[in-house]
Amino acid sequence: MKRSIPLAIVMVGGILFIIQYFIPHQHSQTLFDYYTEWAPIVGAFALVLGVGSLSRLHSHKIKRKAKNWQYSYAVLIPLFLVPFFALIMPESLGGGMLETMGGARTTQGVFDFTYMNIQVPIQATMFSLLAFYIASAAFRAFRAKSALATVLLLAAIIVMLGQVPIGELLGKWFPKVGLWILRYPNLGAKRAIALGVGFGMLATQLKIIFGVERNWLGGAGE
């Protein structure tokens, strides 16, 4: 029962929405509108489960005095403090837009402050790690080990030079060839993978709708 009901829901829902796609009638549209209203609500409830999991994990760590348990406070305190501030200072929910617009700065909200001074720099730092890691990975992995790898290597160098103005100084044709690689050979390969992925998705979705694939229910497919 625990399995057959969700399976039935998926099967009926899946087939229904395939059919719905082809029917523009108002009843079909109403059904779709219902779905679009329900989906975010379900998602919002799931977030509660997520927060529950995070709180449980870190409170366990604190209770057990596990390794680095002190850091768990750094997770738990902001986790509850931020929504608390949002509740008592609703204006801080505005993302700080009104406070800073048009040069007419007034007070900064808590959200605005943490966003500008913590979240923005931290996230930018994380993303900027890519530059370092790309250099290191390129150094270790880009080897002209075979004829194919050599072509790949040459194409990479041309595209990299073509992307920056200095490449144009070195040779007028760098940007042109770089763009040509992006527009044609790159596109061909992308399309090939995209087609495979598309059919893979189609088959997986069919497997889910017809109950062949059941692992998403929890369990190892038995």
The separation between the first and the last C-alpha atoms of the chain, rounded to the nearest angstrom, is 15
Closest alpha carbon to 179 in 161, 164, 160, 159: 159
Q: How near is the Cβ of 31 to another protein at its closest, in Å?
A: 11
Q: Which is nearer to another protein, 88 or 103 (CB)?
A: 103
Q: Which is nearer to another protein, 88 or 218 (CB)?
A: 218
Q: Which is nearer to another protein, 81 or 151 (CB)?
A: 151
Q: How near is the Cβ of 19 to another protein at its closest, in Å?
A: 10
Whole-number Å distance between alpha carbons of 154 and 163? 14
Instruction: Kindly state the tokens that stand for 221.
Output: 């497919």
Q: How near is the Cβ of 43 to another protein at its closest, in Å?
A: 7
Burial status of residue 96 (CB atoms within 10 A of its CB: 0-12, 13-18, 19 or more):
buried
Instruction: Kindly state the tokens that stand for 165.
Output: 């103005």
Report CA-CA distances (Å) from 92 to 80, 112, 120: 15, 7, 16
Q: How near is the Cβ of 139 to another protein at its closest, in Å?
A: 4
Whole-number Å distance between alpha carbons of 213 and 204? 8
Q: Which is nearer to another protein, 8 or 143 (CB)?
A: 143
Q: Which is nearer to another protein, 45 or 88 (CB)?
A: 45
Whole-number Å distance between alpha carbons of 9 and 99? 47
Q: How near is the Cβ of 29 to another protein at its closest, in Å?
A: 4
